[in-house]
Amino acid sequence: MTLRKMAVAAAVTSVMALTMGSAWAQSKGVVGISLPNKTESRWINDGNSLVAALKEKGYTVDLQYANYDVPTQVNQVENMMTKGVKALLIAPIDGKTFSDTLAQAAKRGIKVISYDRLISQTKNVDYYVTFDNYQVGVLQGQSIVSNWQKRGSKSPINLEIFGGSTDDNNAHMVYAGGMSVLKPYIDSGKFVVRSKQLAMDKVATPNWDGATAQARMDNVMSAFYGGARLDAVWSPNDGLAIGIISSLKGVGYGNGGQPMPIITGQDADLQNVKAIIRGDQTATVFKDTRQLARVAADMVDNSLAGKTVTINDTKSYNNGAKIVPTYLIKPILVDAGNWKKALVTDSQYYSEAQLK
């Protein structure tokens, strides 16, 4: 940002503060929310649900998206602190980057909640709310195994693996969960990874970027699949699955003679649910972000009021400085067999019309 732009931004902010002054005075205080980016629909849904849940409880909300840029995210959080937030909800791009900032937050008595992604290397995180990320990986692995069994368990099949971003703890949890299911099949030769790219550092996708996954899938196909069929792809989320599907369509998969491989995902993004209905993607993992937002809003409200905060996990999330008291929500596998029940009838996460 140039100095001029910064001055304009500061002026706009103070005008906002003045015009919103009366609203802020009546509210229970301002809660700062910092989310990684606006390019993935899940974070937009999270933002909307958090604003609604916190407003309902009487808070004013300062919601910022960091455009997948670490310094931007740290600056945004520091600005929120300067403006006097009472609590912070942060889904970090890089979990390790908040130690100094949160030391300041602790001094000011600001409550800090790690939202969906773990903030690491600092004691100054009060609570963590997330989905059971290990279980997300387990569900993805199980879906590959059960679809392989449905297709007749012909052995061996060719599998390729993608990982999330290594600066996001969730990527490692999902990888560990999936490997707990898939490794025995790989070790026994039932699932063959022709690229031999297996370890997290070989399969990771910086910033969970779909275009990067697409480029890697292109390379793997041209280097290792001349004449061979790819039967399954373990994709850790829906954004990557879109890139992988595009790559595979580019080399002829997805038509009658050459059906798509088994492909997993995570988030139940609208376009991926449509891909499941069409048959381009096999499964996704549904994580109801409305529920995540409700639990996060309760955590803010109860911790600020000095009331008991509900947690259900006190051992899984060691952030390098402490074990963060956590509330874990259950993820749900969604595929062609249950999308309507899980996403429309039971949860009303989508209307049927949206999925047409």
Nearest distance in Å: CB 286, ligand BGC: 11
Residue tagged 């790219």 (tokens): 197
Cα distance between residue 153 and residue 148, in whole Å: 5
The 98-117 site mask, x for binding ligand BGC (CB under 6 A), equals ------------------xx
Binding pattern for the stretch 229-268 against ligand BGC, x by CB under 6 A and - elsewhere? --------x----------------------------xx-
Closest to ligand BGC by CB, 49 or 237: 237
Q: Between 62 and 116, whose beta carbon lies closer to ligand BGC? A: 116
According to the binding rule CB under 6 A, does residue 27 interact with ligand BGC?
A: no
Q: Does 42 bind ligand BGC (CB under 6 A)?
A: yes
Min CB(68)–ligand BGC separation in Å: 9
66 touches 94 (CB < 8 A): no
| Cβ–Cβ under 8 Å, residues 158 and 231 | yes
* Cβ-contact 287, 329 below 8 angstroms: yes
> Which residues lie below 8 Å from residue 275, measured CB to CB, with a gap of 6+?
241, 242, 245, 281
Provide the minimum distance between the beta carbon of 236 and ligand BGC in the complex, in angstroms, as a whole number.
8
For position 172 contacting ligand BGC by CB under 6 A, the verdict is no
Minimum distance from residue 267 beta carbon to ligand BGC (Å): 5
Q: Is the dihedral of CA 13, 15, 18, 19 positive or negative?
A: negative
**Which tokens go with 5?**
């732009």
208 binds ligand BGC (CB under 6 A): yes
- Residue 342 beta carbon to ligand BGC: minimum distance, rounded to whole angstroms: 16
Taking the complex as a whole, the smallest distance from the CB of residue 229 to ligand BGC amounts, in Å, to: 28
Q: Does 143 engage in binding with ligand BGC (CB under 6 A)? A: no
Size of the site for ligand BGC (CB under 6 A): 10
Strands, E assignment, 8-49: 30-35
CB-based contact 136:177 (threshold 8 Å): yes
In angstroms, what is the minimal distance from the CB of 348 to ligand BGC?
A: 20
Closer CB to ligand BGC, 163 or 261, in the complex: 163
CB of 335 to ligand BGC, least distance (A): 18
Q: Peptide bond before 206: cis, by omega within 30 degrees of 0? A: no
For residues 239 and 261, which CB has a smaller minimum distance to ligand BGC in the complex? 239
Our CB check for ligand BGC shows the closer of 38 and 107 to be 38
| Position among 76, 147, 170, 272 found at the interface with ligand BGC (CB under 6 A) | 170
Based on CB atoms, which residue is closest to ligand BGC, 132 or 231?
132
Per the rule left: phi > 0, alpha: psi between -120 and 50, beta: everything else, 254 is: left
CA-nearest of 117, 120, 122, 121 to 93 is 117
The tokens of 124 are what? 């100054």
Residue 289 lies near ligand BGC (rule: CB under 6 A)? no
Answer yes or no whether residue 40 interacts with ligand BGC by CB under 6 A: yes
- Kindly give the interhelix angle for 238-250 and 210-224, rounded to the nearest 10 degrees: 40
**Residues 35 and 91 sit within 8 Å (Cβ to Cβ):** yes
231 or 267, CB closer to ligand BGC?
267
Return the residue of 168, 231, 288, 301 that touches ligand BGC, per CB under 6 A: 168
Query: Using CA atoms, how far apart are residues 28 and 49, in angstroms rounded to an integer?
Result: 18
| DSSP E strands, 227-290 | 232-234, 262-263, 283-286
Query: Are 210 and 236 in contact, with CB atoms under 8 Å apart?
Result: no
Nearer to ligand BGC, 93 or 299 (CB): 93
> What is the number of other CB atoms lying within 10 angstroms of the CB of residue 311?
16
Q: Which residues bind ligand BGC (CB under 6 A)?
A: 40, 42, 116-117, 168, 170, 208, 237, 266-267
